[in-house]
Structure 1
């Protein structure tokens, strides 16, 4: 049974015309892009689900804030509005704006980590893993085993495996663990949420061993909404109350504000109460991003971010946001298409390995499905699997990902029910000819974050 579509809690005031190329044109465009969806021009894409990062539609209040942005190099009023909003929502004493999430990681991780140390996470996303390695460390994923079975419906599949975490700390020694990172929601595991109970247990282990706990807060609001819906004892708590509790268990956070703060650019570093660490972060911000009161952002971006932080935690908005994912997932259920279930917060992660069992991991089934979606309906998506994971930094061997997903990351306040039906219909059409789809091989790749730039060829 298809879920009822949750109506938008807004009206559309401005539209952007998009075009649909013919199938022949799309096949030509993806070949010219060397079968890398990141190389496609935006104007050649009909429905863009490559990412939900920075692709959101801002509100009239945010656009009004753009006009009010204070462009003073130092001490602009927009900076103070942002700091007040972030301190109010997260309850942290120290907040540093940066231009996006990977900038937050660059600023912070170089202070936390040195050569030969480890970062343990419920799952590192691609830029997080890269910044751990650039700082001289190694990243270890520690998600609960249930996440490895896409068909298994567990309410908090993004959780840290706390028993494994303890064993890893024992194996390497607490002094070798630079940081533990809790990613909420767990993007690489399919946008799956983390429970308060698991966050509390993880925090207790970190405190016992004297290890810093950092939240990757890119999609924290969606995670909090899942807690409110699924975790016993939190159904009557407000979204803000749950935010304060979950962040209270950590020591710091990095945040790409391009997701749940519904802006096109922006990021934050939050530090609970460590003044020295904050002062060091400020020094690195000046070196890498710009003066501390703008952190690589214009005043207008600081202003719209201060507004978007509040809009992103509005419960009516979150109900609609998660409802879009549930509607698409229900259409896939009806068609017998496997995805990481229950559906995540920011997109649907289709199980490409299940759709293409004949394509081995080293021929990248997730990327193959992304290419087929573009050919079929002009939909741009990306691989979250072995292609994205890349090669072992020490041996150079292709890593075998736990999942072979194709991620349909849905921008906030952008697409309608009709667009979502196009997504479902395209996946159904591909499923019907799945046995004909071939894998891909890489013809060129950079050493780090290869999936953004690599060139591929279809296997004949």
Structure 2
């Protein structure tokens, strides 16, 4: 598809001005932020690709829905609208709203994990693994090996390796498996989808052992679109029907509505087991709020219900993924090392190949986020050793095979022209990559260190030479 033959499937009726800063200003601003893009003020960012979570533009229908907020403390009509939409489009029986996705992660971990239990999953996500560990669980990665290879073009890197899953079941015993944590599109692997064929095989294996599947469905529509485009037998299926089939292969789900559902705040826990639902209803009151609002205003639930329906519209989801691929292909054509294949919610730069002179212990992906901000005011996020954190037993860093910088693209916010500007900043940075220094901690938080850590720049690394 040529750029001249494509346009965003919406028109713009409100704009938010962007502020451009000079390189000299940005160097000072990122130093003041401890060389951590999370600590920058949004007013000092030109193009913000830090995350696609809660940063989407809502539609006219969603804004209209905000005016229909029923702010009753209990029994809000907006909750019942959200419940109906979840049942219709996802197929889960019961819904417990939460303030965002990590609220649902906390609830399910507290409900199902006992100290010493194992939680296999298709690659960790930061907050998910932390909630599992705080509940006493042990996360175990059972994703396919291709997911750890940034150069592999395997189209379903989110797949679960059945042998790895069988091995952990045999090692731990099925009774000591809290649940299988299954993500549709795997964030830390580069937004990579899981195939329906793999999910069916996983469902069969888990049923044999009586193990629940809890679905991280924040980007399930994006995963369904990739199935439609790349998995045999699904080209003529709607994204909505594929989403419903995906959900039918799981026992419950945690949802961050800040992704697919196109809202700025909100999430839910969805379940099929009535007994577990009753426990969740009781627990949510302790940590979030009444089970019919879960820390959300009625207007937020209304916007989320409307956003779910919009997320499954074919024109929307195709445009959303196309914009990501447009940027990814620009970078690939320019010879920039990116993770292959391009995923669905962002483009991931391969920091190991981009900055081979910086060892992993000097945080090359974090260093690259600094350089990109300095070059063009583009805010990105590290997804490597800093995000991976430390081993809770040894205290040493986790050393992930992937050292990435994520350019997460908000939905319905930027145009292709913005993507052109981002590509220019990355290409310029790549041309000057040898001058980028590594980093060291000056302050390291105990939990989820990538959010609040501060760094200092090190002396330039010696250039690699070939004998």
- Quickly name the TM-score band, shorter chain normalised: over 0.9
TM-score, structure 2 length as denominator?
Answer: 0.97
Shift of 1:158: 1.2
CA deviation map 1:269-311 (0-9, x unaligned): 1112x11100000111111111111110001101111100000
**How far apart are the structure 1 equivalents of 2:174 and 2:5?**
48
What does residue range 40-439 of structure 1 map to in structure 2 within 5 Å? 40-272=40-272, 274-439=273-438
The answer to whether the 8 A contact 1:5-1:327 is kept is no
Shift of 1:443: 1.6
Q: Secondary structure at the match of 2:181?
A: strand
Indicate the residue corresponding to 2:25 in structure 1: 25
Shift of 1:2: 8.0
The answer to whether the 8 A contact 2:221-2:240 is kept is no
The answer to whether the 8 A contact 1:2-1:330 is kept is no
**How far apart are the structure 2 equivalents of 1:108 and 1:101?**
11
**How far apart are the structure 2 equivalents of 1:20 and 1:419?**
13
TM-score, structure 1 length as denominator?
Answer: 0.98
Q: Secondary structure at the match of 2:187?
A: coil
Alignment: residue pair count? 459
**How far apart are the structure 1 equivalents of 2:329 and 2:65?**
37
Distance 1:403 1:4, change over 3 A: farther
Distance 1:48 1:367, change over 3 A: same
**How far apart are the structure 2 equivalents of 1:443 and 1:165?**
39
**How far apart are the structure 2 equivalents of 1:411 and 1:4?**
22
**How far apart are the structure 2 equivalents of 1:64 and 1:149?**
45
Runs of 4+ in 1 over 6 A off after TM superposition: 1-5
**How far apart are the structure 2 equivalents of 1:444 and 1:173?**
40
**How far apart are the structure 1 equivalents of 2:241 and 2:329?**
31
The answer to whether the 8 A contact 2:35-2:454 is kept is yes
Q: Secondary structure at the match of 2:111?
A: helix
CA deviation map 1:211-243 (0-9, x unaligned): 111110011010000011111111111222111
Distance 1:143 1:6, change over 3 A: farther
**How far apart are the structure 2 equivalents of 1:166 and 1:62?**
44
Indicate the residue corresponding to 2:463 in structure 1: none
Q: Secondary structure at the match of 1:407?
A: strand
Segment drifting more, 285-294 vs 149-158: 149-158
CA deviation map 1:234-274 (0-9, x unaligned): 111122211111111111100101000000001011112x1
Shift of 1:31: 0.5
CA deviation map 1:387-442 (0-9, x unaligned): 10011011100110120000000000000111101111111111111111111111
Gaps in structure 1 of 5+ consecutive residues = none
Gaps in structure 2 of 5+ consecutive residues = 460-467
**How far apart are the structure 1 equivalents of 2:95 and 2:425?**
43
**How far apart are the structure 2 equivalents of 1:458 and 1:370?**
13
Shift of 1:175: 2.0
For the aligned residue pairs, the C-alpha RMSD in angstroms reads 1.2
Distance 1:3 1:169, change over 3 A: farther
